[in-house]
Amino acid sequence: MPEPTACDLLISDAVVIPGDGPALGGVSVAVRGDRIHAIGAAADFAPAHRIDARGGILLPGLVNTHSHTPLMVVRGMVEDLGFAPAYTKGIPQGHWLSAEEAYHLARLGAYELLRAGSTTAVDFYLHPEALARAAAEVGLRAFIGGRIADVDTAELAEGRVRHDPALGEALLAESLDLFARWDGAERGRIRCILAPHAPDTCSRALLKAVGEEARRRDLGLHTHLAQSKGEVEAVRAREGMAPHELLDELGLLNDRLLAAHCIWLEPGEIARVGAAGMNVAHAPIGNAAHGGIAPIMALRDAGANITLCTDTKSADMFESMRLAIGVARVKGAGYAIKTAEVLGWATANGARALGLEGDIGIIRPGAKADLVLLDAEAPNLRPVVDGTGIVVHSGSGANVRTVVIDGRVMLEDGRPTLFDGAEVVREAQKVADGLWRRAGRAPVTG
Ligand SMILES: [Zn+2]
């Protein structure tokens, strides 16, 4: 019998959903350094550390392509209000946040993402340095940016829209500054992004400036697109064209663009957006909560790369997958939308949108060891037959037991390994209490 192969970590006796083929039962995944070394029988390996999956399902780490962790502070309180309540009176305002407050809320968001099986997340907001610190400390693979805009959101709360070039320059400078300190940090786990907020909150000049920086750095852009009717109307009034046409005119509508929402697109516009090969961050939880949904099947058919996100709602990508299917069928997609494909939206398609195709979102030798192990004893995850169906249609972020990112165990049997989860939750509640009091609403926590 050949000598067993040495490896750093072995996840043994799992049902592996590799992402590029059918599930495999009773197999083990060996990790060396930050990468998957081999998939085989447990007896073939001599691991330094072993996690016994006990027949539990092992998935590629989920890729969550759009979030703003500090906005967690309004979650659960704004869903019955109108659009963009974060700029509405009586709600804690983004511009109130200190860097320290943003950091505590970002840690909560990053911890929640980890616990629910998102190994890669995109996060951009004010105080990007705080977001980067939080993602690094929690152990996520993360794409972090500042929210670049030149409309003052403080004035938006008062109902005024005014472009302030100095504000745009300052926020762009802050984003660029982040690259110098954080891009490639944590052995490459933290990457920086350029994220102009949206075509209505960024002037043409600012979008152009950000686009030039992206070209210079060979980067794609992250933004919101066709998120609200108000955005479409504002851009039409200002530019005489739809938001995606403005991006196209500036050379930004292409396969490097990752745009969240894409709800308010006319049929003819969908063809143009799709033909550009753009990446869509589909946010069914948040969009449905506000009564909208992206024409996701038409976008897919037109050529767009569909990815999934939770966008600061419950960071449960299982819920997002299930809702994506349900809402598409309510909108008439029928059975053209398939379970395995939607799991791909949450994994491999996200990897492709972020330029990490083949590296993450897949379980195969040579790929990064970003892995999610589900609870082998969870009743909602039985029966396991093909493996994929039960995960998408009955799984939950709460089923996530162990998470490996870059070959390191970041969550083991439900507990974070790098930090004290209870402390993160406690500090975030304290920050939220203060912000809600300031908005005139005393939380029940006292
Ligand atoms: Zn967003």
Distance 194 CA to ligand 1 centre (A): 14
Distance 259 CA to ligand 1 centre (A): 9
CATH class for the region spanning 62-353 = alpha beta
The pLDDT assigned to 94 comes to 87
Question: How many Å apart are CA 236 and CA 249, to the nearest integer?
Answer: 14
Output the six-digit token pair for 389: 């169906």
Distance 387 CA to ligand 1 centre (A): 32
Nearest CA-CA partner of 102 in 146, 140, 64 = 146
Cα-based angle 20, 23, 26 (whole degrees, multiple of 5): 135
Distance 198 CA to ligand 1 centre (A): 9
Distance 71 CA to ligand 1 centre (A): 9
Question: How many Å apart are CA 88 and CA 441, to the nearest integer?
Answer: 14
Distance 147 CA to ligand 1 centre (A): 10
Nearest CA-CA partner of 446 in 75, 437, 426 = 437
Dihedral of alpha carbons 263, 83, 329, 18, sign: positive
Q: What 3-state DSSP class applies to 26?
A: strand
CATH class for the region spanning 5-59+363-413 = mainly beta
Distance 327 CA to ligand 1 centre (A): 20
Question: How many Å apart are CA 54 and CA 433, to the nearest integer?
Answer: 41
Distance 266 CA to ligand 1 centre (A): 21
Helices of type H across 164-242: 165-182, 204-217, 229-239
Peptide bond before 47: cis, by omega within 30 degrees of 0? no
Output the six-digit token pair for 245: 């046409």
Question: How many Å apart are CA 152 and CA 158, to the nearest integer?
Answer: 10
Question: How many Å apart are CA 268 and CA 274, to the nearest integer?
Answer: 10
Place of tokens 């999956």: 53
The pLDDT assigned to 83 comes to 60
Distance 224 CA to ligand 1 centre (A): 6
Place of tokens 């995606």: 244
Per-residue pLDDT tens, the chain, 446 aa: give them: 689 999 999 999 999 999 999 999 999 999 999 999 999 999 999 999 999 999 999 999 999 999 999 999 989 888 888 765 556 778 898 889 999 999 999 999 999 999 999 999 999 999 999 999 999 999 999 999 999 999 987 777 666 778 999 999 999 999 999 999 999 999 999 999 999 999 999 999 999 999 999 999 999 999 999 999 989 999 999 999 999 999 999 999 999 999 999 999 998 899 999 999 999 999 999 999 888 999 999 999 999 999 999 999 999 999 999 999 999 999 999 999 999 999 999 999 999 999 999 999 999 999 999 999 999 999 999 999 999 999 999 999 999 999 999 999 999 999 999 999 999 999 999 999 999 999 999 889 86
Distance 67 CA to ligand 1 centre (A): 6
Distance 261 CA to ligand 1 centre (A): 8
Domains of the chain by residue range:
5-59+363-413, 62-353
Ion ligand 1 — residues with CB < 5 Å: 260
Do residues 391 and 57 make contact, with C-beta atoms less than 8 angstroms apart? Answer: yes
Distance 225 CA to ligand 1 centre (A): 10
The pLDDT assigned to 237 comes to 95
Task: Note the pLDDT tens digit of each residue in 268-327.
Answer: 899 999 999 999 999 999 999 888 999 999 999 999 999 999 999 999 999 999 999 999
Output the six-digit token pair for 309: 């996100």
Question: How many Å apart are CA 371 and CA 59, to the nearest integer?
Answer: 6
Distance 68 CA to ligand 1 centre (A): 6
Question: How many Å apart are CA 71 and CA 211, to the nearest integer?
Answer: 26
Distance 339 CA to ligand 1 centre (A): 25
